């Protein structure tokens, strides 16, 4: 199924009223899956080793060439897996991108699915290129097609791309935030064309890796003509700042990696807990493999911190919608033995701590004067993790008591010591039914400080000041 055949099929579909767009793109993705070859119009699929998870085998098509390699390492039974969709540069191919970027090895190490899309005429419909091709529907059809063959987590479908494929990744983050959890463009800043219509439907994590010596998409931006199409690029920093603005990020970016000339910076305090990043890596307009760090592994570290709140956590069950509850402790019912000092680094400028001299290490406080009571509601039954944003200054100030509803009190001792606000996960999980609940925090040692609570049925690690509070 070469490029000409697929292009002919596309043209024929557009002139065939009885063949709907959805049917066409599903058919295109299915044909791609069925004939796994390094040809234009082909989807190349690589899976983590050893997982036999599969809840559908349409037409019985499943061969070693489609799912490779086959090592002995697998996933726990019943666990849905993430998907990363990787897009080639202008003039590139899916197979060259698969062999040249290192994403297969990263998928092996982290046990997720990575798929390589192939654009018609080795191009993508973004920033003036291939304007008559519906790549948006095609790329979403790839994810949908994978979900019929592998048990995936629809709330963890990510997109990454190189050069023009990176431009398509920007575009999908701008227009398809309801489908993709996060995006990671490589060697492609926002163009004026993309930026002019960029309006994500929700906060979405985006991080770009730029080549320091890129002669085409230069760090400082500028106007470039490629393939007869002229685009004006924002600078790498302006593109970074634009995504920070779109996601409501505050404060200054944090440097999360420095290695030689390579740097990665991220905004940690953005709406809904997403992050925005920029990596400036040794390299030009290439896959950045020679940069001295592992680009795909570092990209995955960013992508994997994000989930899509509008998609279910499991394609097979159809349920498991992600629930993320953010609670400001000082907005709960705060007992009289607690104080609420001001702190500009706290989530809402205020936190809670028990008054000095109050300690209750043997048992939880007996009366509500020693409690913070936080009502909450969850829409889906399931197992929930509890995170607290805390400061624990020393070993005599590193613990709380917690309970859910009218259950037993549980000690949380030895919270990691920190002089700054840090998210820490409570050692106990709670099985909650859909509906209303109450989390109660009791003091145990004075000096322990608590700013915010995050309750979730996901594996997401919160960062920064977390998401918008629900109380």
pLDDT value at residue 471: 78
pLDDT value at residue 78: 54
E strands in 175-242: 182-186, 205-211, 222-226, 229-233
Residues 6+ apart with CB under 8 A from 467: 271, 272, 273, 324, 326, 454
Q: What percent of the chain has pLDDT over 70?
A: 82
Residue 229: pLDDT band with limits 50, 70, 90? very high
Check if the beta carbon of residue 322 is closer than 8 Å to that of residue 154. no
266-290: per-residue pLDDT in tens?
999 998 889 999 999 999 999 999 9
pLDDT value at residue 146: 84
CA distances for 12 relative to 2, 5, 6, 7, angstroms: 15, 10, 10, 9
Residue 255: pLDDT band with limits 50, 70, 90? very high
Q: Average the pLDDT over 212-235 and give the result.
A: 97
Enter the pTM of the model.
0.61
Residue 181: pLDDT band with limits 50, 70, 90? very high
* Alpha helices (H) along 227-369: 236-246, 295-303
pLDDT value at residue 253: 96
Distance, CA of 309 to CA of 70 (rounded, Å): 32
Specify the range with the lowest mean pLDDT, choosing from 5-9, 155-159, 354-358.
5-9
Distance, CA of 415 to CA of 102 (rounded, Å): 38
Specify the range with the lowest mean pLDDT, choosing from 172-176, 236-240, 374-378.
374-378
Residue 317: pLDDT band with limits 50, 70, 90? low
Residue 207: pLDDT band with limits 50, 70, 90? very high
> Cα torsion at 252, 256, 259, 260 (round to 10°)?
0
67-105: per-residue pLDDT in tens?
222 122 343 345 788 999 999 999 999 999 999 999 999
Specify the range with the lowest mean pLDDT, choosing from 1-15, 203-217, 290-304, 454-468.
1-15
Q: What percent of the chain has pLDDT over 90?
A: 63
Distance, CA of 430 to CA of 450 (rounded, Å): 20
pLDDT value at residue 377: 85
| Mean of pLDDT over the chain | 82
pLDDT value at residue 379: 80
Residue 214: pLDDT band with limits 50, 70, 90? very high
pLDDT higher than threshold 80 for residue 321: no
Q: Average the pLDDT over 247-268 and give the result.
A: 95
Q: Average the pLDDT over 236-241 and give the result.
A: 98
Burial class (CB in 10 A: 0-12, 13-18, 19+), 419: exposed
- Write out the DSSP string of 47-74: --TT----S--GGG---TTTS----S--
pLDDT higher than threshold 50 for residue 30: no
pLDDT value at residue 18: 26
371-409: per-residue pLDDT in tens?
999 998 888 888 899 999 999 999 898 999 999 999 999
Specify the range with the lowest mean pLDDT, choosing from 63-77, 150-164, 316-330, 402-416.
63-77
pLDDT higher than threshold 50 for residue 173: yes
pLDDT higher than threshold 80 for residue 129: yes
288-298: per-residue pLDDT in tens?
999 999 999 99
pLDDT value at residue 378: 84
Q: Measuring CA to CA, which residue among 70, 51, 110 is closest to residue 297?
A: 110
pLDDT value at residue 453: 95
| Domains located in the chain, CATH noted | 3-303 (3.40.50.1820), 324-456 (2.60.120.260)
pLDDT higher than threshold 50 for residue 322: yes
């Amino acid at each position: 199924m070469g490029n000409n055949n697929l292009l002919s099929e596309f043209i024929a579909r557009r002139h065939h009223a009885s063949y709907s767009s959805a049917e066409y793109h599903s058919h295109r993705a299915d044909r791609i899956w069925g004939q796994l070859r390094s040809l234009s119009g082909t989807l190349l699929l690589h899976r983590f080793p050893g997982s036999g998870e599969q809840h559908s085998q349409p037409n019985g098509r499943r061969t070693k060439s489609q799912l490779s390699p086959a090592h002995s390492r697998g996933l726990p039974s019943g666990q849905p897996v993430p998907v990363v969709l990787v897009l080639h540069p202008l003039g590139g191919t899916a197979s060259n991108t698969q062999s040249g970027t290192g994403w297969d090895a990263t998928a092996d190490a982290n046990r997720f699915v990575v798929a390589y899309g192939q654009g018609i005429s080795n191009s993508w419909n973004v920033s003036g290129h291939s304007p008559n091709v519906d790549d948006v529907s095609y790329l979403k059809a790839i994810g949908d097609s994978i979900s019929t063959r592998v048990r995936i987590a629809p709330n963890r479908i990510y997109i990454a791309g190189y050069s023009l494929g990176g431009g398509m990744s920007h575009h999908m983050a701008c227009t398809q935030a309801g489908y993709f959890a996060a995006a990671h463009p490589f060697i492609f800043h926002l163009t004026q064309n993309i930026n002019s219509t960029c309006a994500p439907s929700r906060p979405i994590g985006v991080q770009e890796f730029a080549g320091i010596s890129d002669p085409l998409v230069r760090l400082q931006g500028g106007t470039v003509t490629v393939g007869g199409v002229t685009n004006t690029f924002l600078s790498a920093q302006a593109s970074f700042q634009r995504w920070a603005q779109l996601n409501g990020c505050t404060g200054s970016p944090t440097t999360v990696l420095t290695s030689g000339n390579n740097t990665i910076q991220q905004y940690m305090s953005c709406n809904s807990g997403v992050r925005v990043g920029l990596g400036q890596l040794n390299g030009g307009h290439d896959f950045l493999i020679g940069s001295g760090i592992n680009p795909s592994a570092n990209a995955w570290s960013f992508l994997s911190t994000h989930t899509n709140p509008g998609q279910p956590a499991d394609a097979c069950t159809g349920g498991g919608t992600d629930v993320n509850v953010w609670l400001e402790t000082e907005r709960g019912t705060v007992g009289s033995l607690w104080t609420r000092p001001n702190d500009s680094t706290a989530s809402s400028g205020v936190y809670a701590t028990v008054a000095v001299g109050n300690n209750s290490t043997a048992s939880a406080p007996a009366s509500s004067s020693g409690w913070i009571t936080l009502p909450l509601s969850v829409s889906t039954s399931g197992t929930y993790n509890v995170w607290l944003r805390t400061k624990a200054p020393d070993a005599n100030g590193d613990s709380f008591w917690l309970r859910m509803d009218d259950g037993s009190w549980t000690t949380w001792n030895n919270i990691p010591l920190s002089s700054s606000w840090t998210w820490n996960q409570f050692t106990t999980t709670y099985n909650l039914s859909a509906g209303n609940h109450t989390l109660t925090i009791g003091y145990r040692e004075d000096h322990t400080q608590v700013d915010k609570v995050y309750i979730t049925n996901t594996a997401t690690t919160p960062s920064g000041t977390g998401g918008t509070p629900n109380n």
